[in-house]
Structure formats: C-alpha cells, structure tokens
C-alpha cells in the first residue's frame, strides 16, 4: 500500500538521466495475464530505455505481489532506483519519460481515496477501519457494556436499580450513552494515529446520529458520508460501501471546485478558464489549484527563453 511518505520520496527524486514511469491497468475485467503482457509491451514499444524496459518487464513477469487492479512502476537504472506499487483502484494505462517520476495519477488517487476512517457503530461498541486507496484494513474495535432490555411490564432485573421498566429504561439509556462516548474516544485516537482526513460512519440512523452529535466540530467537518450497516457486516460489504461513498464524495468535491472556478472566472476574480488564460496564470505564479480533465491533451509551444507555454506560435519571448 502506497503511503504519503512513498509519494514524497517520488516527488523528491530527480535525475539527469531519464526516469521511466509506467501505469498499467491490471483489472481482471480488462483481460487475462497474456493480454496484460501485450498491453505492457505495446506501452513500452517506443521507449528508448532498454535497461529500464527490461527491469519493468522482469518485475511484471516474476513478481506475484502486484496482483490488484492497477500497477505503478518507476525505474531509473542509472541511479539504481526502482519502485513498484500494486494498487486496488484501476488507473488508466500510460507511460511517461522525464527527469523525475510522473506522480500525478498517484497524487490524484491519494487525494480521492486516501485517508478514510470508517466507523461501524451500535449501542454497545464500534468497529474501526482504515480505507486507503481502495483497500480496507480493519483495526481493533471497542466493546462496551451490554445493553439489557426489559420486557413490557417487567420489574428491573439490574441489581441496585429501582423503578421497574422506567428505571431500567433510564439505566439502559445511560449505558448506551457511556458506550457511545467510549467508542468515540477510541475512534478519535484511531483517526489521529492514522492521520485520517475523511470519515464515514455506518450503523442505524439513531446510532449514527448519536455518535456524530458527540464528535468534536473539527471531526464533524470531516464526515463525508453515512450509511446503514450492521455491526456484523462482512468485510466485503463494508469495502463496497466505502468505495461507493468515497467515489460519490470525490465527484461532489470536484463538481463544487469546478463550479466555484467557473463562477469566479465569470466575476473576473479568483479564477480563469480556457487553456491560454490558464497557462498565463500558471506562468505568472497566480495558481493555487489547477483543474485538468483526466486524459486532456493539447498541442502547444514553449518559449526557449523563459519557458512560457502557449497554444499560439510566438516569434519573440513574451
């Protein structure tokens, strides 16, 4: 599983010699092993880095831990640098050659599917998961005091409790409250230790609402979705719901970002659209967030003097 520190290592690496970056979609739906080998061979066909190509092909042929839905490989044999990351989320196949690893697809993946904390909550305890890049890892849970229920018309069966059913009800509510708070403290420690950036909460509507109401405001702002789920749900069920809600949350975030940029551009403040205007803003150092459609390409020109990028051919340095 790739981490933020792995990404930082890739960002820090550069070389005067070429670095080969390969992303290969290995989703079983895209074909069997032979089909993947042909796709990789086709991707590498025009790359003039024989040692790096051989290294990548050898890894794909012999490694077994790469099984997943995509594979990211970075190779620079002249610097004895080779990194491979099997990923549980499918990525578009592509190859890049440059003086540093091409990490944008990984950065996008970490932005969309990195650092989720998933909580399954009921009246007695909680199960906690880390959902990261399409993988779901269950952590230690917490289990509080059992919540007892009194039959209609019965007397209190709890030693030291008086008041019949009404007293038992108050006692049960106090137990639930205590269990929820204990689960909450445990969950917050888990969030902090795992640097969770987004939170998903599963359970009944009542349990989710009660758990969420006790969350500190800083953590409430990180809740991106809730869902109905039993505490005894299978791992695969939790993973499917986490993936679904994560994708929905990312689409909403992207839509809000695009709408805000278009609105700001229309007002003439805090945003630009269209390629040339965007390239000018980048060159002038005015960009905080750059939005590019996945797979977008356009022909252009670069000034040999200052590096300015444009879609128009210019005779003199702008």
- What digits encode the pLDDT tens for the residues 105-158? 998 888 888 889 999 998 888 899 999 888 888 877 666 555 555 444 444 444
pLDDT tens profile 72-106: 999 999 999 999 999 988 889 999 999 999 999 99
pLDDT digits (tens, 9 = 90+) for 192-222: 998 899 999 999 999 999 999 999 999 999 9
* 3-state helix vs strand vs coil in the chain, percent to 5: 45, 20, 40
Tell me the residue ranges of DSSP E strands in the chain.
19-25, 70-76, 81-87, 94-98, 116-121, 125-132, 135-138, 142-143, 198-202, 223-227, 301-302, 309-310
The whole-number average pLDDT for the span 255-281 is 89
Query: Rounded distance, CA 300 to CA 293, Å?
Result: 17
Q: Calculate the CA dihedral of residues 62, 64, 69, 71 and round it to 10 degrees.
A: -50
What's the rounded mean pLDDT across residues 30-54?
87
Least confident of 44-48, 86-90, 95-99, 312-316: 312-316
Report the pLDDT value the prediction gives residue 153, as an integer from 0 to 100.
45
Smallest Cα–Cα separation from 73: which of 46, 53, 99? Answer: 53
Distance in angstroms (rounded) separating the CA atoms of residues 103 and 4: 12
Give me the pLDDT at residue 120, please: 94
pLDDT at 167: 60
CB 174 within 8 A of CB 198: no
Query: Residues 15-30: what's their mean pLDDT?
Result: 89
Tell me, what's the pLDDT at 168? 59
Q: How far is CA 153 from CA 30, 114, 158, 166, 174, in A?
A: 62, 51, 15, 10, 20
Bridge-based pairing state of the strands 309-310 and 301-302: antiparallel
Q: pLDDT band at residue 164, thresholds of 50, 70 and 90? A: low
Q: Which residue, among 75, 218, 72, has the nearest Cα to 134 in the 3D structure?
A: 72
- CA dist 115 and 158 (Å) reads 43
Using CA atoms, how far residue 92 sits from 19, 43, 71, 182, in Å, is 19, 12, 10, 43
Return the percentage of the chain with pLDDT > 70, whole number.
Answer: 87
291 pLDDT band (50/70/90 cuts)?
Answer: confident
Q: Could you give all domains of the chain from N- to C-terminal order, each with its CATH number?
A: 4-112 (3.30.960.10), 114-149+160-251 (3.30.420.60), 275-310 (no CATH)
Is residue 17 over pLDDT 70? yes
Strands 135-138 and 125-132: antiparallel
């Amino acid at each position: 599983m790739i981490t933020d520190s792995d990404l930082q290592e890739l960002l820090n690496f550069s070389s005067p010699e070429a670095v080969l970056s390969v992303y290969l979609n290995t989703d079983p739906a895209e074909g069997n092993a032979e089909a993947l080998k042909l796709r990789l061979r086709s991707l590498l066909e025009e790359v003039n880095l024989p040692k790096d190509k051989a290294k990548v092909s050898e890894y794909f042929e012999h490694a077994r831990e790469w099984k997943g839905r995509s594979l990211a490989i970075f190779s620079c044999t002249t610097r004895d640098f080779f990194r491979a990351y099997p990923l549980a989320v499918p990525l578009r196949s592509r190859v890049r050659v440059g003086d540093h690893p091409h990490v944008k697809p990984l950065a996008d993946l970490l932005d969309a599917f990195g650092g989720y904390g998933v909580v399954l909550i009921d009246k007695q305890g909680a199960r906690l998961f880390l959902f990261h890049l399409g993988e779901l890892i269950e952590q230690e849970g917490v289990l509080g005091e059992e919540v007892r229920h009194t039959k209609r018309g019965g007397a209190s069966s709890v030693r030291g409790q008086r008041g019949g059913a009404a007293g038992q009800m108050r006692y049960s509510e106090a137990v639930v409250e205590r269990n929820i708070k204990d689960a909450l403290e445990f969950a917050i420690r888990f969030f902090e230790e795992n640097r969770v950036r987004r939170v998903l909460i599963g359970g009944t509507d009542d349990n989710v609402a009660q758990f969420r109401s006790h969350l500190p405001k800083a953590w409430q702002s990180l809740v991106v979705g809730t869902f109905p789920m039993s505490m005894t749900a299978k791992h695969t069920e939790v993973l499917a719901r986490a993936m679904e809600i994560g994708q929905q949350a990312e689409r909403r975030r992207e839509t809000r970002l695009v709408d805000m940029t278009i609105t700001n551009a229309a007002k003439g403040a805090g945003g630009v659209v269209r390629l040339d205007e965007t390239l000018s803003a980048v060159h002038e150092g005015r960009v905080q967030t750059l939005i590019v459609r996945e797979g977008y390409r356009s022909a252009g020109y670069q000034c040999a003097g200052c590096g300015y990028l444009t879609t128009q051919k210019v005779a003199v340095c702008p």
